[in-house]
Amino acid sequence: MILLIATTNPGKVAEIRDQLQASGYEVIGLNDLDHKIEPVEETGVTFAENAFLKADYYHSRTGLLTLADDSGLEVDALGGRPGVLSARYGDQGMSSAEQVELLLDEMQEVPDSERGARFRCSIALVGDGVRRVFEGICEGRIARSPSGDNGFGYDPIFIDPSSGRTFAELSIEEKAGRSHRGIALREVLEYLKDAS
């Protein structure tokens, strides 16, 4: 049984594979397919809409049970930005490090007491008669500068309140236990185990 993760991000595939190893599925990413599939445009206005857009699209092209997540960072001081545009924040083609710097520049004058933020994740599972969404939210705050070498995206500036460290300073196991994606994936794992 194969479960396709609808992403080309190797960090995300590794994180999801690690958390779903007890599901009984062989977890693969888009880069593991023997043919390239053009990406789908994410036009949804919510994380769940974008997750379903991706899951439906890649399932229809492969016939595989497909898991797609859409997740992002919501910063209170920025009115919830970058939100669903987290992966596309700033100018087109910006690297993750440049997006982090842009966000920190925008928050330069924001005091520590007002740097609240959350990671939000919606995971859609489509195929084999299944069409479900699982959600996870993780509260934290934005650091003043990046710290840590693990993780990806905004992890170096998102401070986990229970440890006082950024997500990029946590081990894969620690992050999985606390993160928005980890919360949603635990629900996915329970569902897959119950369904098999």
Residue 9 is predicted with a pLDDT of 82
Mean residue pLDDT of the chain comes to 93
Q: Give the model confidence (pLDDT) of 150-179 as tens digits.
A: 878 999 999 999 999 999 999 988 988 889
Mapping DSSP to helix (H, G, I), strand (E, B) and coil, where does residue 14 land? helix
pLDDT band at 115 (very low <50, low <70, confident <90, very high): very high
Identify the architecture of domain 2-195 in CATH: Alpha-Beta Complex (3.90)
Name the residue ranges covered by the structural domains of the chain.
2-195
pLDDT band at 191 (very low <50, low <70, confident <90, very high): very high
Average pLDDT over residues 45-51: 96
Q: Tokens representing 116?
A: 């609240």
Going from the C-alpha of 161 to that of each of 55, 126, 169, the distances in angstroms are: 32, 33, 13
Residue 92 is predicted with a pLDDT of 84
Residue ranges of E strands in 30-179:
65-75, 116-127, 130-142, 158-160, 165-166
Specify which residues 5 forms β-bridges with: 29, 67
Average pLDDT over residues 100-118: 97
Q: What are the CB-based long-range contacts (under 8 Å, 24+) for 92-96?
A: 96/152, 96/153, 96/154
Q: Give the model confidence (pLDDT) of 60-81 as tens digits.
A: 999 999 999 999 999 999 999 9
- Residues serving a catalytic function are 70
As a whole number of angstroms, the distance between CA 103 and CA 99 comes to: 6
Residue 141 is predicted with a pLDDT of 98
Residue 196 is predicted with a pLDDT of 66
Average pLDDT over residues 107-120: 97
As a whole number of angstroms, the distance between CA 105 and CA 131 comes to: 40
